[in-house]
């Protein structure tokens, strides 16, 4: 696989992650706005949704153009083929990195809110459950990063195990 193809796959993976993140955050913003009776929240969500969809369309349908803009010409760099097993390890590491990157800001945010409102009569049970959820997400992400080769070996074992 050439570096351009690798980057094109990474751009599409980023588009998928961005879509999941955008849906989650936009729904949360919309629900919070409805609870506060904010009259502008629907318009803000609609505008950001249109911008996000446009960005996702560009990322999904033109990943090779983005790769050509970011990398030198393919004739300048020799193509090295990678085994599918190495792609499994790299993919699980990238998923782990994504989980860690998504959980760290949420852990900091929930911890900071709990610290700032510790003396007030704020119900912190939702923040505690959020901390537990994001701590588990962080640990799973670290496990995927650290155990990428073990996951690769397990998948290879599962592929070739069984009756002959």
Cβ-count burial of 120 within 10 angstroms (0-12 exposed, 13-18 middle, 19+ buried)? Answer: exposed
Residue 101 structure tokens? 């990157």
73 & 101 share domain = no
73 & 31 share domain = yes
What is the rounded CA–CA span in Å between residue 60 and residue 79?
A: 23
CA dihedral 112, 115, 118, 120 (to 10 degrees): -50
30 & 108 share domain = no
Q: Name which of 28-32, 115-119, 123-127, 149-153 the model is least confident about.
A: 115-119
Is it the case that residue 51 has pLDDT exceeding 90? Answer: yes
User: Which residues 6+ apart lie within 8 Å of 1 measured at CB?
Assistant: 79, 81, 82
69 & 97 share domain = no
Q: Residue 157: its pLDDT value, please?
A: 83
Model pLDDT for residues 28-40, shown as the tens digit of each residue:
888 888 888 888 8
pLDDT, average across residues 9-27: 84
What is the rounded CA–CA span in Å between residue 106 and residue 114?
A: 12
Evaluate whether 41 touches 33 at the Cβ level (below 8 Å): yes
Domain that holds residue 154: 82-164
Q: To 10 degrees, what angle do helices 3-35 and 63-70 make?
A: 120
Which of 58, 80, 102 is the endpoint of a domain? 80
91 & 55 share domain = no
Q: Which residue matches tokens 């919309």? A: 30
Evaluate whether 112 touches 40 at the Cβ level (below 8 Å): no
Q: Name which of 55-59, 82-86, 138-142, 143-147 the model is least confident about.
A: 82-86
19 & 70 share domain = yes
76 & 86 share domain = no
**Alpha helix (H) residue ranges in 38-124:** 41-61, 63-70, 84-116
Q: Average per-residue pLDDT in the chain?
A: 81
Q: Residue 137: its pLDDT value, please?
A: 93
What is the rounded CA–CA span in Å between residue 135 and residue 29?
A: 23
Is it the case that residue 76 has pLDDT exceeding 60? Answer: no
């Amino acid at each position: 696989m050439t570096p351009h193809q690798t980057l094109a796959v990474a751009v599409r993976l980023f588009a998928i992650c961005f879509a999941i993140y955008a849906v989650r955050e936009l729904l949360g913003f919309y629900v919070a706005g409805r609870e506060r009776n904010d009259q502008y929240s629907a318009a803000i969500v609609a505008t950001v949704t249109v911008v996000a969809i446009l960005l996702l369309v560009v990322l999904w349908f033109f990943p090779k153009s983005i790769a050509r803009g970011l990398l030198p010409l393919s004739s300048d760099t020799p193509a090295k083929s990678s085994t599918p097993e190495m792609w499994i390890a790299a993919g699980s590491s990238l998923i782990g990195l994504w989980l860690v990157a998504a959980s760290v800001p949420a852990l900091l945010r929930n911890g900071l809110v709990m610290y700032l409102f510790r003396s007030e009569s704020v119900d912190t049970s939702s923040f505690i459950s959020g901390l537990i959820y994001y701590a588990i997400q962080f640990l799973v992400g670290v496990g995927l990063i650290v155990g990428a080769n073990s996951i690769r070996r397990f998948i290879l074992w599962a592929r070739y195990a069984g009756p002959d």
